[in-house]
Amino acid sequence: TQLHCVLCGVSFSIARLRTRHEPRSHAWNYEGTDFVDDNVQPGDKCGEGCCFVKRGKAPDEFLPSEADRSGIVYSYLKAELFLEHVAGPGCRNTNAYNGHTVSASAVQCVRTAQCLLRKPIGGDIDFEGYITPAWTPEPDDEAWEGTSAWTLSGLNALIVEPMMGPSKDWAPIRHGVKQVNDAGFWQPGIDNIGMAFHPWCMEVYQRAVFHQKGKVDVDGVGEWWERDEVEKVERSVAVWECDQQWWDHGRGSEFLITDPLKDAGLVKMLQDATETSEHFDPAGSAFPSRTLPETTADQQQKTILDPFSTLPAELLQNILTELPNASIAAVREASRAFTHIPISFFYPLVRRDYPWIWEADQETLAALPQYSQWTKAVIDKAARKLNESGDIDHITPISLPRFETNWFKLYASLRKHSGSLPGLRNRERIWRDCQQIITMIDEMRARSA
């Protein structure tokens, strides 16, 4: 009954309960057109602080105009009230996310879809009888669209259930495609059928595929989608738990809809790792110096027997690179040869253990220096609709300079906070889903070779 992002598996039908301090425009139901009409009694699925607000007036409903023998026409007045559920801090209602834990802009963004379409060759007729022209370049094309067999649709924040037909009002109209048949899976014989996704998920996919292939491969994901293999992606446990007949907005699953590109906590972590001091030296030790105790004969003997004490620094670092994280600390305690580990040593560890931190990869930043104009449009539109200020820097990823970043500090922060920063957690989740998709694309092409 829901349309999901093909890349991350999250539904577009996300609802939100506003708080009592927010305007009515900050509440959405599943359809995204109104508030959550919740007629349960106060206290049912609620915590302290929830309330119900009377919204609008129910219309009169009349029985069929059948007069009795006396000519009297019976009428029936519907007494039901429309009650909006306004969330308190402890609200446990799962019909929508609690406004105290999820921002209005996040929900507005995650409700916005874009589609990947085969380039129209001309002659396709939509359900309103409009004939789509053949694809020709346009000024707002992404760099890859010129050489790809695929193109992008406009945006839509009012996605309907698949059984209700294609969603309407995609904007802007791109390459003459007025009506997009948005779908979660490929259906042959349907004109202008498109693979629906969140624009920010496409940002993650492009960087994941560049990390593995050294190039952006959008054609691959389109061809894979046409093979109807979306259900083979093993989504995270949180997605499976929420993906019921209707999306279950359970507490703890809010990270699934958090901005994976520039989560505030992630931005702060990256900025804190950047060093501005002219005295910073990446070759310096990541750890404070240890005061050596007075040398004794036993300690001298121990130093002589230390097999690492005579090895050059480059070889010591190579040894550390091959060790699991827990063993690095252990070997540092066991051998004084590892007392001073340079800050720069942790750069390859960040790239190895956290490949989704593309801000640390200069090759990715050079190939994909900005986020898509469509991703920026989603953020800006959400801000305008909610009367908030837009993030003018959202289109540009943060860049971590190789020799002006404390890689040890960043690595330690990532290990400590990866599970607690919702945007970073969501980025990792989407990245892992994209890795599965990339593997299936490789297998698909190998079978076709």
Q: Could you please report the per-residue DSSP string of 175-214?
A: TTB---EEESS--TT-TTEEEEE-HHHHHHHHHHHHHHHS
Structure tokens at 230: 């979306």
Residue that is written with structure tokens 């699953």 in the block: 253
pTM: 0.85
Structure tokens at 392: 């003018």
Please give the span between the terminal C-alpha atoms of the chain, in angstroms, as a whole number: 37
Same domain? 126 vs 230: yes
Decide which of 242, 261, 288 is a domain's last residue. Answer: 242
State residue 62 phi and psi, 5-degree precision.
-110, 140
As a whole number of angstroms, the distance between CA 364 and CA 214 comes to 8
Per the DSSP assignment, residues forming a β-bridge with 285 are 342
Residue 135 maps to a domain? yes
Same domain? 211 vs 330: no
| Amino acid present at 268 | K
What's residue 57's pLDDT? 47
Helix axes 422-448, 218-226, angle to 10 degrees: 70
Residue 399 maps to a domain? no
Classify residue 418 by its DSSP letter.
T
CB half-sphere exposure, 68, CA atoms < 13 A: 6
Is the predicted pLDDT of residue 393 greater than 70, yes or no?
no
Residue 292 maps to a domain? no
With contact defined as beta carbons under 8 Å apart, do 226 and 149 qualify? Answer: no
Structure tokens at 76: 């029936």
As a whole number of angstroms, the distance between CA 181 and CA 26 comes to 28
Q: Choose among 264, 279, 229: nearest CA to 437.
A: 229
Q: What's the rounded mean pLDDT across residues 192-216?
A: 96
State residue 201 phi and psi, 5-degree precision.
-70, -35
Residue 311 maps to a domain? yes
Is the predicted pLDDT of residue 105 greater than 80, yes or no?
yes
With contact defined as beta carbons under 8 Å apart, do 276 and 123 qualify? Answer: no
Q: What's the rounded mean pLDDT across residues 277-296?
A: 72
What's residue 427's pLDDT? 98
Residues 6+ apart with CB under 8 A from 172: 140, 154
With contact defined as beta carbons under 8 Å apart, do 199 and 374 qualify? Answer: yes
Q: Choose among 175, 177, 178, 196: nearest CA to 186.
A: 196
What's residue 289's pLDDT? 67
Is the predicted pLDDT of residue 352 greater than 50, yes or no?
yes
As a whole number of angstroms, the distance between CA 116 and CA 134 comes to 16
Residue 275 maps to a domain? no
**Dihedral (C-alpha) 260, 263, 269, 274: value to the nearest 10 degrees?**
80
Decide which of 320, 341, 362 is a domain's last residue. Answer: 341
With contact defined as beta carbons under 8 Å apart, do 28 and 35 qualify? Answer: yes
Decide which of 208, 227, 242 is a domain's last residue. Answer: 242
As a whole number of angstroms, the distance between CA 12 and CA 413 comes to 32
Q: What's the rounded mean pLDDT across residues 22-31?
A: 89
Q: By residue range, what is the domain housing residue 313?
A: 307-341
Residue 271 maps to a domain? no
What's residue 329's pLDDT? 66
Q: Please tell me which residue, 43 or 163, carries the higher pLDDT value.
A: 163
Express each pLDDT in 33-56 by its tens digit: 788 876 554 445 676 788 888 876
What's residue 78's pLDDT? 42
Number of domains in the chain: 2
Structure tokens at 42: 């106060």
Residue 26 maps to a domain? no
What sign has the CA pseudo-torsion 87, 90, 94, 97? positive
Q: Choose among 26, 414, 89, 97: nearest CA to 253.
A: 97
Same domain? 119 vs 236: yes
Strand, helix or coil for residue 144: helix
Strand, helix or coil for residue 121: strand
Hey, how many other C-beta atoms are within 10 angstroms of the C-beta on 177? 26
As a whole number of angstroms, the distance between CA 26 and CA 91 comes to 16
Same domain? 117 vs 225: yes
Q: What's the rounded mean pLDDT across residues 278-299?
A: 69
Same domain? 230 vs 314: no
